[in-house]
Amino acid sequence: MIAIRDWGIIDFTEAWDRQRVLAQAVLSGEKPSTLVLCQHPSVITIGRNGSDANIIASQEELKGKGIQVIPINRGGDVTLHNLGQLIGYPIFRLTDFREDLHWFLREIETCIIETIAEYGVIGLHVDRSTGVWVDEGKRKICAIGIHCTRWVTSHGFALNVSNDMSEFELIIPCGISDKGVTSISKEIGTTASIMKVKEICIRKFSKHFA
């Protein structure tokens, strides 16, 4: 069974430091594969394949809003985290499951698709576009980007639940300019409880990675 840890609301850089420590402990066998759930105050991150050209806002505007831009070692491009978004960091030793990153990404997508389905939101995989999409791939509801060293993963997913979607106007999310972004709350027309979404998400991951 995987372990579950809830880090609550935590600054992104602190969470990244804690991920590295946890990943080393999982690699050594000191700790089991662990799903960390948390929220971050507003921050923009740029993955290995990203470019700051996909940040629309000026440095002055970002500074005025108190939003940092942090280059990190996950896959993917530019994304934004803010409160009301459920962050999941599966720090998993894939040797215990399957040494296959493609499989792992699809399993994460499936867990999210099953989570949002409990709200009547139909999510789907889109070929060559990692993440979870709705409305025939027109809007992304969950971004996914991972890092893997010696078959231990870090970083993970960002599921929009009840966050301020207007902040995504500061960037070109995932470097994709012709698609939109959405949240569970936007799709169902009422505020979804992030605590309830977290509970569902834990169930889905515990089932798929048992």
Could you list the active site residues? Answer: 174
Q: 85 forms bridges with which residues in the sheet?
A: 160
Q: 91 forms bridges with which residues in the sheet?
A: 34
Q: d(Cα 140, Cα 174) in Å, to the nearest integer?
A: 10
Tokens of 47: 């993955």
Q: d(Cα 147, Cα 23) in Å, to the nearest integer?
A: 11
Residues across the chain: 210
| 153, 104 contact by CB (below 8 A) | yes
| 131, 176 contact by CB (below 8 A) | no
| 165, 183 contact by CB (below 8 A) | yes
Q: d(Cα 197, Cα 200) in Å, to the nearest integer?
A: 5
Q: Cα–chain-centroid distance for residue 19?
A: 14
